[in-house]
Amino acid sequence: MKTAFWFRRDLRIYGNEALIEAVNEGARDALFFYCKPQWQSHNVASIQLDLLERRLLELGSQLSEFGIRLHIIEASTFAELPAQLQVVCDDKGIDCLYANKEYEVNEVARDEACETVISLKLFDGDLVAKPGSVLTGSGEMFKVFTPFKKAWLKCFVGQQFHFSSWPLDKQHEANFKKPTFFEMTNESEKWPVDDNAIVTIVNRFIKDKLADYQDDRDFPAIKGTSGLSPYLALGIVSPKQLIAQIQLHYPEVLENPSKPEFCWVNELIWREFYRHLIVAFPRLCKGFNFNDKYNAVRWRDDSQAFELWCNGQTGYPIVDAAMRQLNKTGWMHNRLRMIVASFLTKHLLIDWREGEAYFMSKLIDGDLASNNGGWQWAASTGCDAQPYFRIFNPITQSEKFDPDGSFIRTYVPELKNVPAKHIHFPHDYLAAFGGKEDYVEPLVDHKEARARALDAFKV
């Protein structure tokens, strides 16, 4: 039996247990199906596709040093893959493919179709805990994060994670060529794709920032976050690898969830939670509210307000700065994601699905499960959601998390001369001292918008 490996969103050699097992079984060919039209139909951002292409070139070169050839095959849709897979496997005499699971409904259907033409051996390499392994006492999926986290921790307390050793030495290089259909734009060039640089980023975060992450993570003007989300989204690093690396410095991190260094691990568990949810409730991949009772909410159809929100022209500086950061860089600080999502769904009363799609079309770290979970949390339609009567006040959020306006001034330069005392809602100041014409008027009044949202959600 001849074995090969099928890469998906697990674009790494080290810490890829499925790949290592395939190589141990003699695999010297690897496949990647490049389905750009399929991904674009689901709003995958161009900056993420650029990062994907850059990483694939790095991966192909890296594999070639170990005598493994990466074949990047262009396809339009997942529906084409069984036939293409049959041709490739017949041509190379491949009988079995090893791969890591993807949990979205289209990807699950793709694998089921492909299993009719080739034997697939699938692993859960994108998660620490397999879906279905962290359940309530009655055997059901948790619907609230905190008890899920406690049950998750019980599974792994006392366990030391480690890296699976790579089984091959470098040898004569296999031939690898850049695919002609790549349209690289270098949009993602601020994120390096070689392993040495990524290891440096991981180590610096753990050594220099992890202990302060709990205190710094909510302040967008501080570089207090890890910057690893794009690499997690494409599987360039895995959560197991990251926990293993953290345990080298904090061996009892899983035993002490009250310690500051656990705070970032908690974010990895949130990531697990959202993935377990889309497996247990596949309808989440199809745009359904998790909580059916909010199907009765009547969202406003206001394309002009939505466009102004997208472009960072709402008249609320923290919201506008956040959206401009997203549009300019392809990334947004996590605290700001919550603020702008709350503003769209509560202040503007626009359907969370519109915001979810826009985020996916812009984010370099776009990920269906986490993006969907975050939006439904903010919109109060989801699992473990923010209660509908809790509506983020963008002014007080700005005062608390960007107190001197440093972040706002970075992305809303028309407010650069506004004193910190007034920058969080500068309209009265601008009217009194000039410059009112330089910044947009607020789309809504906070109190009025809040009252409207409460009325809408009372259904």
- Binding residues for FAD, by number, are 213, 225-229, 264, 267-274, 365-367
* Residue ranges at the known binding site: 213, 225-229, 264, 267-274, 365-367
Q: How far is CA 294 from CA 166, 260, 372, 377, 380, in A?
A: 49, 36, 16, 12, 8
| 267 catalytic residue (yes or no) | yes
Instruction: Give φ, ψ of 447 to 5 degrees.
Output: -65, -45
> Is residue 331 within 8 Å of 367, Cβ to Cβ?
no
Neighbours of 152 (CB within 10 A): 22
Of 6, 309, 331, 375, catalytic: 375
Token pair 């262009």 is found at: 74
Report the phi/psi class of residue 132: left, alpha or beta, with left for phi > 0 and alpha for psi in -120 to 50. Answer: left
- The angle formed by the CA atoms of residues 117, 99 and 64, to the nearest 5 degrees, is 105
Q: How far is CA 423 from CA 99, 137, 294, 397, 450, in A?
A: 51, 50, 35, 12, 22
- DSSP per position, 195-208: HHHHHHHHHHIIII
| 352 catalytic residue (yes or no) | yes
- The angle formed by the CA atoms of residues 160, 162 and 168, to the nearest 5 degrees, is 160
Cα separation, 187 vs 364, in Å, equals 10
| 331 catalytic residue (yes or no) | no
Cα separation, 3 vs 25, in Å, equals 7
> Is residue 273 within 8 Å of 151, Cβ to Cβ?
no
Cα separation, 26 vs 67, in Å, equals 11
Of 334, 393, 399, 414, catalytic: 334
Rg (CA), the chain: 23
DSSP 135: B
Of 152, 191, 270, 331, catalytic: 270
DSSP 132: T
| 191 catalytic residue (yes or no) | no
Report the phi/psi class of residue 96: left, alpha or beta, with left for phi > 0 and alpha for psi in -120 to 50. Answer: beta
Of 166, 266, 299, 399, catalytic: 299
| 377 catalytic residue (yes or no) | no
| 173 catalytic residue (yes or no) | no
Cα separation, 160 vs 338, in Å, equals 33
Cα separation, 30 vs 174, in Å, equals 12
- DSSP per position, 46-64: HHHHHHHHHHHHHHHHHHH
Active site (catalytic) residues: 267, 270, 299, 334, 352, 375
